[in-house]
Structure 1
């Protein structure tokens, strides 16, 4: 099956040197005039009551909680009922909430869109509180449409629509339902990333609320070390309450979606590797390449108006598509990642390893999963350098980020459902190292709960990130009280 459409820029929806201390909470004092209390069982309830009295019912929701808000996470494995829910409407609200949480030493989770499948990253149980950023979802463009200001609770579909109305586009995420905050802080891979870099490298300025409740700007001129750190450094430094991003020119984005039967997968892996090594030199070309157990999806996009099929994708045109469709579970989810250099034989060998295990897992517990190769051009690293740098330590050569999406239904099957992807990433690393094809980088936004993307950023960058975290959060509130996320203290 083939679908060819010319469309605007709206979304195509598809499926270490420095040690961070852990201060004694009972004896350490904050500079805000309040003593810090030892964490205890009464802390969350006390903090919720205090915050509600100070900020009101519209900002702080206590028992009974609105279950629609509680459950507003993509994966069932990430749904938990907190002691209370904070829904700040401004940076000032966030600052007040952080001071209260620090004072009472209450654990917290932060949720932008709630799209991570990692338990605890954007949810927390009754021992803590949830900061739900959904009310801070404003999207506004500058008078010349050169900059777009985005609240952390906005969704990328909303951002794309606002930009498209002004005939510009934004480097963000490919899935319109994902939240802005987590995507940018983890990097942000987009259809036009080969040409314009990651979403994080298209940020002009961050508005950040620090652990002591103060609000600052981080950009190339102000707090530039924090600006650098936030571009892929995750939730380690503060809460971003506004992203000012550069827009990019709007074009009609050509795309073609092909569906193939799974027996075409080995041949298509060859096509993918050939495109990466040849056609992808045209930075306007991009491919979403996803093998499932029932079908293969190849979505080709081209960032320019054209009425002809782009020559860059010639390796894919030789394989005849079919009309088979994949099935997808929609309950519990996980994803996982690994990187390597581009090599068709490596792809084929690891695919065979994955297929055997993924098929066995589906037969055992009904889980579906995908085998996805994401191309990363050498220009991605160059765009990061051009725009002031970032902590990712990306190799300055073309490579790939493999990922998988695992879907299943029952909590009792969690271990089995995740087993194929865990074994596959280990096998990918093993074989790529043996063949000199290893890339020691893991994209944070594809990393699973037990992986460590920060570890691949390089010793020098990690040391600098830790220094910045200590500078802007000297009491390490975000390291000690934050419930989940890829934290520097957990390296």
Structure 2
């Protein structure tokens, strides 16, 4: 078994890693180290001993082997969006994939080969000229790899299924440095595990994703004062129960942004909003959203745009402190609506925080697979998404998320999308994957990573 968690490595050893390394190898004294170390959550302050910015699959294999031989803890960095900071390791080695971000689109096969370090922006901008898209996250800066491997829910999932439902194959560097292909035909058990099991089984250096025709989307953002929240949330709940698969979005409390369509009295104040996304043109989108337009909103923005533009429309500013969690609900009765709305009063306002109720259903709930994503059967997800600037607000932000989860427990199905949470304990990981699935995943882990080298994640221990 490899010697783990050493933080001591000599300069000469690092120089040997640099020899023949196509990318760049950084140490703490390097001028660009601090910039390279920064991740989305400013609360994360881990300081790796080595950051290996890989350009090739061979770089990845060398970096993993180097860390194993010297007992350095390994983390894998794609987009760096993990709220728990799992992209970093304190004193270890980061396999940084950001330079492996190429996307190659095959419009005839309607597929995309996506580098392991690509973000949603790389993917969406590459597919846009062909009028094609696949389920992405809800912002453009999310890493494609971690998103897909965790299951992947976004604006298009009701229409096109979860992101992992569109995963056709993956190239993986395993803990022993081997390069393997995972697909329905090759290493099928590993392929199954990559549909929700995250980065537990190796470094995914490339993914092949199924694409769908989508020339444009329509987005409608409607705003009300916070006092209207209970009525709006009930109306949105009833609206989504009848909505076609093309409709996605969510209802949320947020700080009113300083935009032209936002009434002056809502700017900087707690507001209730409905974002409706429609996989199609504005004329059809307006008709689909008509029941919500009839509620008498105070602010309105409706526009048809390329999907890539929708993806970056709600990008969160970098450098903020983060805490998120989630609870997946089997039903949202009026009592749950009242508790959800009351919880908004505990938000940090003004801030970039969002207090969200997402719908599922559609193709999310109609799988013809047995992938380890049991949360997909829930029709609703409550997602407290906290972002703030002042460290003095840390405990308040965490407590707000925990309290909302606690409020929703009477209607929870127990399963949870692990990409939406940080370190909430091993029981939550098992619940997020399903107990039977977890046992099967543990056997896959034992085959491909018996020493648990890849444990900076929602960890599945080897069976």
Q: Normalization by structure 2: what TM-score?
A: 0.86
- Asked if 1:261 corresponds to 2:237, the answer is no
Aligned length: 432
Aligned residue for 2:122? 158
In the alignment, is residue 371 of structure 1 matched against residue 352 of structure 2? Answer: no
Seen in structure 2, the aligned counterparts of structure 1 residues 255 and 409 have a Cα distance that, compared at 3 Å, is: closer
Are 1:389 and 2:361 counterparts? no
Aligned residue in 2 for 1:401: 381
Shift of residue 382, structure 1, vs aligned partner: 2.1
1:289-438 alignment to 2 at 5 Å? 289-292=251-254, 294-323=270-299, 331-358=320-347, 369-377=353-361, 379-383=363-367, 385=368, 388-394=369-375, 396=377, 399-429=379-409, 431-432=410-411, 438=412
Aligned counterparts of 2:12 and 2:365: Cα–Cα separation in 1: 47
Q: 1:200, 1:79 → 2: CA distance?
A: 31
**RCO (CA 8 Å, sep 6+): is it higher in 1 or 2?**
1
Pair 283,78 (structure 1): closer, same or farther in 2 beyond 3 Å = same
Q: Indicate if the aligned counterparts of 2:384 and 2:404 stay in contact, CA closer than 8 A.
A: no
Q: CA contact under 8 A between 2:159 and 2:362: conserved in structure 1?
A: no
Aligned residue in 2 for 1:19: none
> Partners of 2:231 and 2:206 in 1: how far apart?
45
**Deviations 1:73-102 (Å, cap 9, x if unpaired)?**
222112433212101111111111111111
Asked if the contact 1:332/1:408 (under 8 Å) is kept, the reply is yes
Q: Deviations over 1:125-169 (max 9, x none)?
A: 3x2122211100000012615110001211112211110112211
CA shift, 1:369, in A, is 3.1
Task: Please say if residues 131 and 216 of structure 2, whose CA atoms lie closer than 8 Å, have aligned partners that are also in contact.
Answer: no
CA–CA distance in 1 between the matches of 2:454 and 2:238?
A: 44
Change (3 A) 1:44 1:258: farther
The one-character-per-residue Cα deviations of 1:256-287 (angstroms, maximum 9, x if unpaired) are 221222112111111121022222xx111112
Could you say if the C-alpha distance between residues 41 and 300 of structure 1 is closer, same or farther in structure 2, counting changes exceeding 3 Å? Answer: closer
2:247 maps to 285
Bigger drift between 103-112 and 40-49 goes to 40-49
Counterpart contact for 1:337–1:448, Cα < 8 Å: no
1:185 positional shift: 1.3
- Unaligned segments of structure 2, at least 5 residues: 256-269, 302-313
Distance 2:3 2:423 in 1: 30
1:208 corresponds, among 157, 160, 172, to 172
Instruction: Note if contact 1:401-1:443 (Cα within 8 Å) is conserved in structure 2.
Output: no
Unaligned residue ranges in structure 1 (runs of 5+)? 1-27, 29-35, 433-437
Helix, strand or coil at the partner of 1:270: helix
